[in-house]
């Protein structure tokens, strides 16, 4: 009980000393709060961006792998430069027929036009719409959802019907908020019946399916010119744990389709949907490290400033310390008082910085389409760091105050 009373008395004396110099306390706390705010704010924003990336890639088909002609476009081996051959329609069809992994779904697609104009009656869009030729499985493997209408059927693709599915933004350009399904539009001068509209992907700007049009593969092959198309193959695994097995099967089939001998290297690439997200998230981890270093440097500067201020306080209060020692204050109680002062100042700055950091992190989360969250992990780190700053900065001034000779201290002017 006596110990508790002593601690309360020490805290009261510390608080009285702090409030006696409010400007000094506020300035010192602000230095600490900026360091904590930078730490919590940047790290919270990074976590929000990671969550946004993960959700975006999940919406694109988390269990999907994509086969393309090449990843970068060229092989580099000594002086030999060879462009990878395109994936032709025959090869893509052969792959789709032979991809027999239980529960997997395979789709074929290619970009029919990257600068298409779409028109409805007297309304014409800018030539910034991508037209993608697809089969009946493309929306499934791509993780797309329909806002209205329906997907292509296998019969639509086989018969080569002039049907189209519009992105949500393109629909608004042509029809406003009115219905689009059942209307006939023109793409590059050819009529197409709108059978569906994709649901909005969001405003993150990553992998947006809101702009563009999708047409049946067979119809596009006979109505879009521009050389031999380069096909993309997408295969969805029945579950995430089986994605590696599906990838192995896809690799074997594609090598067979491309007629590669065992000694020949792959002239195509297989990209897993989760590998892109992992790559981006790994890059974001570097941002986390940099933010942590910035926070540490800022807090180091704050701790030096706090130590200087505490040393000035010891000098200014030398007579007060001598008086306390003369009436029985121990070295331990003097040390506790100055350490408590340092801790109170760092906690005032620390929690102010934490609150501002949470606000900054959540503003970024809202901007990229995330949701409100409280980064408890980073709050705990920031709290411990502010306590550490208080103890480190306050220890030497407290030690110096405790070691003052009471007689010399009383005579100090």
* H or E element, residue 197: strand 190-198
Q: Specify whether 173 is located in the same domain as 293.
A: no
Token readout for 97 is 């027929």
Q: Quick: pLDDT tens for 158-216.
A: 999 999 999 999 999 999 888 899 999 999 889 999 999 998 875 444 445 678 999 99
Q: Specify whether 311 is located in the same domain as 380.
A: yes
Q: Specify whether 242 is located in the same domain as 309.
A: no
In a domain, 41, yes or no: yes
Give the end of a domain, one of 235, 268, 301: 268
Give the pLDDT score at 233: 95
- Alpha-carbon distance of 65 to 106, in angstroms, equals 10
Residues of the chain with pLDDT under 70: 1-14, 17, 51-62, 71-83, 202-209, 274-284, 368-373, 405-413
Q: Specify whether 282 is located in the same domain as 232.
A: no
Q: Specify whether 86 is located in the same domain as 18.
A: no
Give the pLDDT score at 410: 63
- Alpha-carbon distance of 207 to 201, in angstroms, equals 8
Q: Specify whether 286 is located in the same domain as 261.
A: no
In a domain, 48, yes or no: yes
Nearest C-alpha neighbor of 68 from the set 278, 275, 273, 267: 267
- Alpha-carbon distance of 68 to 192, in angstroms, equals 28
- Whose structure tokens read 């393109």? 170
Give the end of a domain, one of 247, 268, 289: 268
- From start to end of 228-321, where are the E strands? 232-236, 269-272
* H or E element, residue 334: helix 331-367
Give the pLDDT score at 207: 44
- The number of domains in the chain is 2
Token readout for 269 is 């690439």
Q: What are phi and psi of 373, to 5 degrees?
A: -150, 160
Q: Residue 379 sits in which domain range? A: 2-57+278-410
The model's pTM: 0.57
* H or E element, residue 113: strand 105-116
- Alpha-carbon distance of 361 to 359, in angstroms, equals 6
In a domain, 135, yes or no: yes
Helix (H), strand (E) counts: the chain: 13, 14
Q: Specify whether 283 is located in the same domain as 263.
A: no
In a domain, 343, yes or no: yes
Neighbours of 86 (CB within 10 A): 18
Give the pLDDT score at 209: 62
Give the end of a domain, one of 230, 250, 268: 268
Give the pLDDT score at 75: 39
In a domain, 253, yes or no: yes
Q: Specify whether 263 is located in the same domain as 344.
A: no
Non-local (6+) Cβ contacts of 143 within 8 A are: 58, 59, 60, 61, 62, 64
Q: Quick: pLDDT tens for 3-60.
A: 556 566 666 666 776 777 777 778 778 878 887 887 787 777 777 777 666 665 555 5
- Alpha-carbon distance of 48 to 360, in angstroms, equals 11
Q: Specify whether 183 is located in the same domain as 71.
A: yes
In a domain, 273, yes or no: no
Q: Specify whether 397 is located in the same domain as 287.
A: yes
Q: Specify whether 72 is located in the same domain as 186.
A: yes
DSSP state at residue 153: P
In a domain, 309, yes or no: yes
Q: Specify whether 187 is located in the same domain as 304.
A: no
In a domain, 254, yes or no: yes
Classify residue 36 by burial, with Cβ atoms within 10 Å: 0-12, 13-18, 19+: buried
* H or E element, residue 110: strand 105-116
């Amino acid at each position: 009980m006596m110990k508790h009373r002593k601690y309360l008395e020490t805290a009261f004396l510390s608080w009285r000393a702090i409030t006696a110099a409010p400007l000094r306390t506020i300035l010192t706390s602000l230095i600490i709060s900026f360091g904590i705010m930078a730490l919590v704010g940047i790290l919270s924003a990074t976590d929000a961006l990671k969550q946004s990336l993960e959700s975006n890639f999940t919406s694109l088909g988390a269990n999907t792998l994509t086969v393309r002609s090449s990843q970068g476009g060229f092989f580099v081996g000594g002086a030999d430069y060879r462009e990878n051959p395109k994936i032709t329609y025959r090869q893509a069809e052969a792959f789709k027929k032979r991809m027999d992994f239980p529960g997997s779904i395979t789709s074929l697609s290619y970009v029919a036009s990257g600068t298409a104009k779409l028109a409805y009656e007297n309304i014409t869009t800018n030539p910034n719409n991508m037209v993608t030729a697809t089969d009946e499985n493309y929306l499934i493997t791509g993780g797309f959802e329909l806002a209205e209408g329906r997907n292509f059927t296998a019969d639509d693709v086989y018969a080569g019907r002039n049907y189209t599915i519009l992105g949500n933004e393109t629909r608004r350009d042509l029809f406003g908020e009115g219905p689009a399904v059942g209307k006939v539009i023109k793409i590059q001068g050819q009529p197409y019946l709108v059978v569906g509209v994709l649901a909005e992907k969001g405003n993150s700007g990553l992998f947006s399916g809101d702009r563009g049009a999708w047409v049946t593969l067979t119809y596009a092959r006979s109505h879009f010119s521009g050389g031999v198309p380069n096909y993309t193959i997408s295969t969805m695994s029945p579950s995430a744990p089986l994605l590696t097995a599906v990838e192995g099967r896809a690799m074997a089939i594609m090598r067979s389709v491309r007629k590669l001998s065992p000694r020949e290297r792959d002239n195509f690439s297989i990209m897993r949907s989760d590998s892109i997200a992992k790559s981006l998230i790994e890059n974001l981890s570097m941002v986390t490290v940099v933010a942590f270093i910035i926070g540490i440097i800022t807090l180091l500067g704050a701790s030096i400033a706090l130590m200087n201020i505490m040393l000035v306080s010891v000098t200014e209060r030398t007579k007060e310390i001598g008086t306390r020692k003369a009436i029985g204050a121990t070295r331990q109680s003097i040390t506790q008082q100055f350490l408590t002062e340092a801790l109170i100042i760092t906690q005032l700055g620390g929690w102010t910085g934490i609150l501002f950091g949470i606000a900054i992190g959540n503003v970024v989360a809202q901007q990229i389409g995330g949701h409100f969250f409280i980064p408890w992990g980073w709050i705990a780190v920031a709290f411990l760091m502010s306590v550490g700053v208080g103890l480190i900065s306050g220890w030497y001034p407290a030690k110096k105050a405790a070691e003052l000779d009471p007689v010399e201290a009383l005579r100090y002017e």
